[in-house]
Amino acid sequence: MSNELMDKIVRSIDDLPPMPSTIIKLSELIKNPMTSGKDIAAVISLDQALTTKILKWCNSPLYGLSKKITSVEQAAALLGNKAIQSLATACCANQIFDKELDGYMIDKEDLWKHSIGCAAGSQIIAQKKFPALRDTAFTAGLLHDLGKIILNNYVKDEFVKIAKIVEEEKIPFTEAENRVLGFDHTEIGAKAAEKWKLPQDLIDAIRYHHDASQAKENTQLVACVHLSNIICLMFGIGCGCDGLMCKVDENALKLLGIDEAEFEKISSEVLDSIQSTESLLD
Amino acid sequence: MPDIQISMSQVKIANDPGFTLVIPNIVSGIGIVMYDPIKKIGGAAHPIIPNCGSPSDPNPQKYVDKCIAFLAKDLESKGANRGTLFVKIAGGAKMLNSVGIPMGEKNLKSARETLAREKLSVKGLDIGGSIKRTLMLNISNGEVTVERFNEGTKKI
C-alpha cells in the first residue's frame, strides 16, 4: 500500500498552488554571482502585490532597519539579494500554508503562524551560529512542514490510526506515520520540494527537520531548523496532535554548541521576533 | 459568555463577572490564574521562559519569575487582597525527549520558587506530560477548568 499511496500523493503535488514564476526566476537569478540588486528588483517589480508585501516586511521590526525602505532595489542593497529572495518566498508561501490541517488538528492560520515562527527562529539561530546561512535558514524554516499540507489531504482516515498508536505507545508522530503509511510528512515534503526543483539545502532541511542526525549534508542548516521547530512547538505555536510527540536531537544541539542557558536566551529572542512579525501574518 | 484571550507573555485582569479569562496553547510555558473570591477579581498570565536574566529586558512578562510577581502586584493594585488570593497553574509540558533543554520542568521549578517567595499557595494544578492545555478562569465564581488537548475538560 505504501508505495502505491506514496506515488498517488507525489502525483498530487501538482494540485498544490504552483510556486509562482517570480520565485522560480529569482531562484535562477540568485545562482549567478553577477546578479545585482537592480536585476532582483526588476523581476519583483512586475508583481505589484509582491512588491508591497516585501516592502512591508523589510520595514517590520524583523529587520530592525533604522531607515524606511521605499524600493525593492534599496532593500536588496541593504539586506542582500538572498534576503529578498527569502522574503519573496515567504510572501508567496502564505497562499499554500494558510489552511486548516484537520488530520493534524491544526487550526487555520496556526500552520502559517508556525511556519513564520520557525522561519524567524531558524534565522536567529543561524545568525548566531552560522551567519552565512541566515537567509536560507529563514526560507527553510518557512517551508519545513510542506509535507503536512500534502499528507493532510490524502490520508485523512489513517490519521485516526496514527494518533491512536502515538497515544498508546508514546512514540514520535513521524514513527507512527511511517508504521501506518510507510513514510512520513518529512519525506513527502522533500519529494514535493524536489518536484518544485527547490535547492538541495532546502530539500535536506525539509527531509531531516525531525531527525537532524540523519542529514549527511547541510547539517548546520538542518540543525537550525530542527531547533527552531522544537522552540515553536514548546511555545504551542502550530502544535496539533503531533506537537509534543517528537524528540530533541542531541547531536543537533552539539553541532550548534547550545547549552541550557543559551537555549533559554535564544528562545526568548525567538519569542520577541515572532511577536514582532504578528503584524505580517495577513 | 465572552472570553478574554491571553497570549504568550501577556497578563490580563478582569473584575466583570460576565467574563472568562482564557489562556490557550499552553505547552512548556505556564498558564497561571489568580483569583480573589471575596472581591471577585481575577487575573491570568502565560509566561514561557523560566527566569529573567536581564533587568533591562523590555518584555519581562515572558519570564515566569517576573510574571508571577507582576500579576500578584497588579491584582493588589486593582483591589484584590493578597491574603485571600488563590493560585492555580497548568502547563510545564515536555517533548517526548527534552534532553538538554528541559524548558517545561524549569518553568515549573521557577513557578514553585516564585510562588513560595511571593507567599502565594497553589490550590490546583494540572502539569507535566506531553500535552497542550487551555486554562480558563470564570470571573463570576472563580471556577477554574483545564482543557487537555484531545482529552476533554476538568475542573482543578
- Angle at CA of residue A110, ends A105 and A113, nearest 5°: 150
- Any bridge partners for residue A247, and if so which? B97
Buried b (16+ CB within 10 A) or exposed e, A269-278: bbbbbbbebe
pLDDT interval class at A7 (50, 70, 90): confident
Q: pLDDT of A121-169, one tens digit each?
A: 999 999 999 999 988 898 899 889 888 887 877 777 788 888 888 888 8
Sheet of strand B30-36, all strands in order from the earlier edge strand to the far edge:
B11-14, B41-45, B30-36, B86-91, B122-127
Q: Using CA atoms, how far apart are residues A141 and B4, in angstroms rounded to an integer?
A: 31
Domain residue spans of chain A: 2-17+98-280
Alpha helices for A20-109 (secondary structure H): 21-31, 37-44, 48-58, 72-79, 81-97
Q: Distances in Å between the alpha carbon of B81 and those of A247, B33, B138?
A: 44, 15, 18
Query: Which position has the higher pLDDT, B42 or A11?
Result: B42
A54: how many CB neighbours lie within 10 A of its CB?
Answer: 23
A271 and B96 within 8 Å at the Cβ level: the answer is no
Chain A residues inside the 8 Å CB shell of B29: 234-236
Q: β-strand B86-91 against B122-127: which pairing, if any?
A: parallel
Q: Which CATH architecture has domain A2-17+98-280?
A: Orthogonal Bundle (1.10)
Q: Which of A172, A244, A268 sits opposite B62 (nearest CB)?
A: A268
Residues of B in contact with A264 (CB under 8 A): 49-51, 53, 103, 106
What is the set of domains in chain B, with CATH numbers? Answer: 3-155 (3.30.1330.200)
Is B131 strand, coil or helix? coil
Q: Does A268 touch chain B (CB under 8 A)?
A: yes
Contact flag A234-B8 (C-beta cutoff 8 Å):
no
Residues with Cβ within 8 Å of B114's Cβ and at least 6 positions away in sequence, in order, are B64, B65, B68, B69
Q: What digits encode the pLDDT tens for the residues A160-202?
A: 888 888 888 888 889 988 998 888 999 988 988 887 778 899 9
Written as nine digits, the cell of B57 is 529586558
Suggest the residue from B64, B95, B130, B151 to mutate for an interface test with chain A (most A CBs closer than 10 A). Answer: B95
A169 close to B (CB below 8 A): no
B45 vs A: CB within 8 A: no
User: What amino acid occupies position B1?
Assistant: M
Helices assigned H by DSSP within A145-199? 146-154, 156-169, 173-181, 185-195
Scanning every residue of chain B, which has its alpha carbon at the shortest distance from the alpha carbon of A273?
B59
pLDDT band at A281 (very low <50, low <70, confident <90, very high): low
Please report, rounded to a whole number, the percentage of residues in chain A having pLDDT higher than 90. 28
Residue B59 to residue B67: CA distance in whole angstroms: 10
Taking the C-alpha atoms of residue B119 and residue B45, their distance in angstroms, rounded to an integer, is: 18
Amino acid at A110: D
> What is the per-residue pLDDT for A17?
61
CB contact under 8 A, A253 and B132: no
**The pLDDT of residue B90:** 98
